[in-house]
Amino acid sequence: MTGPLCVGVIGTGWCGGIRAVASARSPLVGELHLADIRQERLAEVAELAGPAKSTEDWTELVANPAIDAIMVSATPETLHYPMAKAALEAGKHVLLEKPIALTLAEADELIALAESQRLKFTIGYSQRFNSKQAMIKRAIDDGTLGTVTSILLSRHITRSLGAKISARTPLSPAAMEATHDLDFAFWCLGDRRPVRVYSQNAWGVRRETLGSPDTQYLVVTMDDGVVVTVGAGMSLPPGYPNQSTTWIEVLGTDGAILADASHRDIVLNTVADGVRFPLSTMPGEYVDHVYAGPMERETTHFLEAVAYDRPVMVDPRLARVTMEVYLAADESAARGEAVAIRA
C-alpha cells in the first residue's frame, strides 16, 4: 500500500450513503469526496461521513487527480455506464452498483477499459457478502455437498421498494433483483456456464401503475445440466417482511443446504405500526456501532483490493454473463419460450 486512499462516491442516496460512511470509517481511507445533485441528501451524508469536499458536479471527482477510487451509486441506472466510463478513462478504480450497464456492448467497453489499464473494476453484488451465502459457497467448494445438481433462490421485496425501483427505469425484476441471485448461483457454480433460460412473468398490482410484473421467475440450464431457479418479486405488502425475504436451497449428490434469509428472526411490534421485521434490507444498515448486512464488508473489500492490489471478489466478466442471462430471460418472458444463451 502506498498511503491512505483518496476515495470518491458519486450518488449519495441509499447505497451511496452506506458506501460513504463505510469509507469514512475505514482506516484505509485518508480523504473522501462526495457528489450528488440533491443538496439536502448530500448535506445529510456529509454530516455522517465528514468528507474533505462535497459537490453537486460529479465530473469534479473524475477530474481530481488525487482520487484513487470511485464508487458509482447514482440512479437512474442510465447513469451507470457514462459515469463508470468517465471514471475508468480518468484512471480510477471503480466499484459500480448493479446493473453494470444497459447493453452488453457498454459492459464490454467498461471491462476492456479497466483491463487495459489494470484498474480494479467490480460490480456491487452485495449478497455474496452475507454470512449465509458465504457458508453455502464454502459447502460447495469444499465438497460437502458432492456435485451440485440444483440451486433455487426465491426473493421478494416490498411493494414500496419495488415501486421506487420500477418507477425510475423500465428494467425488469430479472435485471434489477434476480440479478443478485443469478450472480450468486453462477459464482457458486465456478466454471459451469448458462446455456438456456426460460422465464415467465406473474402480473398483478404493478401492471396498471408501473407496467411491470409483480414477480418474474427464471429457470436457467447450465452446460452440465445443473438447474438454477430464481424468483424475483416486488409486491410484498409492508411488514411481512419489512424490506426483503429470501429462501435458498442448494442440492448436491452428497447433501443439501437450505438457508432461511427471511429476516423473521427479529420482530418489532408497536401499537402504531403493528408487526415489522427490522434489519431486513438487502444492503443492510448501520445499527450504531455495528453493521447488519453485507454492504459495509463489500465496500471495505473493494478498498482493500485497491490498497493492497488484491483481486476483487466480483469479476465484471461474470457480471456480463449474468447480464446475458437476464436479458435472455426478458426475451423468453416476452416470447413465451426458452431462449438460448449466446456464450
Ligand X SMILES: NC(=O)c1ccc[n+]([C@@H]2O[C@H](COP(=O)([O-])OP(=O)(O)OC[C@H]3O[C@@H](n4cnc5c(N)ncnc54)[C@H](O)[C@@H]3O)[C@@H](O)[C@H]2O)c1
Binding footprint of ligand X on the chain (CB under 6 A): 10-16, 35-38, 41, 58, 73-75, 77, 79, 97-98, 124, 126, 282-283
Q: How far apart are CA 155 and CA 236, in angstroms?
A: 10
Q: Which is nearer to ligand X, 17 or 194 (CB)?
A: 17
Instruction: Compare residues 16 and 162 and give the one whose CB is closer to ligand X.
Output: 16
| Cα of 97 vs its chain's centroid, Å | 6
Cα separation, 338 vs 178, in Å, equals 17
CB of 241 to ligand X, least distance (A): 15
Within the chain, residue ranges assigned H as helices are: 14-25, 39-49, 59-63, 80-89, 104-116, 131-141, 159-168, 173, 179-188, 206-210, 295-308, 316-335
What does the CA dihedral 256, 177, 295, 1 come to, rounded to 10 degrees? 100
**Closest distance between ligand X and the C-beta of residue 282, in Å?**
4
Q: Of 10 and 114, which CB lies nearer to ligand X in the complex structure?
A: 10
Nearest residue (CB) to ligand X, 73 versus 245: 73
CB 287, min distance to ligand X, A: 17
Residue closer to ligand X by CB (options 233, 252) is 233
For 284, list phi and psi in degrees, rounded to 5.
Answer: 90, -175
> Which residue lies nearest ligand X, judged by its C-beta?
13
- For residue 286, count other CB atoms closer than 10 A to its CB: 17
Q: Quote the CA–CA distance of 212 and 170 in Å, as a whole number.
A: 8
Distance of closest approach, residue 48 Cβ to ligand X, in angstroms: 14
Q: How far is the CB of 38 from ligand X (least distance, A)?
A: 4
In the bound state with ligand X, the residue whose beta carbon lies nearer, of 72 and 114, is 72
What is the nearest approach in angstroms of ligand X to the Cβ of residue 187? 15
The DSSP letter of residue 127 is: G
* Of 156, 155, 166, 157, the residue nearest 75 (C-alpha): 166
